[in-house]
Amino acid sequence: MHPLMSRRTRLSLAVAAIPVIALTFAVPFVNRDEPHVFGLPFILAWLIVWIVLTPPFMWIIHRVIEGRR
């Protein structure tokens, strides 16, 4: 990363990367039909959970950025 990038900026990028990694790179590892979670195949439950969790991650980033001002 750029040497002038602040610690908060690096933290924001790291937090933003978590849902991206979970929704793109982890999918091949969780792509299975068993076990079922609430009657859904595991892959579908995984995607739904991360779609629901992404806004809180973005809210955290927003709070970190707004705390800077």
10-residue mean pLDDT profile of the chain (69 residues): values are 69 86 86 84 89 90 74
* Measured distance CA(18)–CA(8) in Å, rounded: 16
Cis peptide bond prior to 35, omega within 30° of 0: yes
Q: Which residues pair with 2 in a beta bridge?
A: none
* Measured distance CA(18)–CA(15) in Å, rounded: 6
Residue at 1 is within a domain = no
Number of structural domains the chain divides into: 1
pLDDT (0 to 100) of residue 1? 53
Question: Domain containing 25: what range?
Answer: 7-67
pLDDT (0 to 100) of residue 68? 61
pLDDT (0 to 100) of residue 2? 58
Structure tokens at 51: 């779609």
Residue at 47 is within a domain = yes
pTM: 0.72
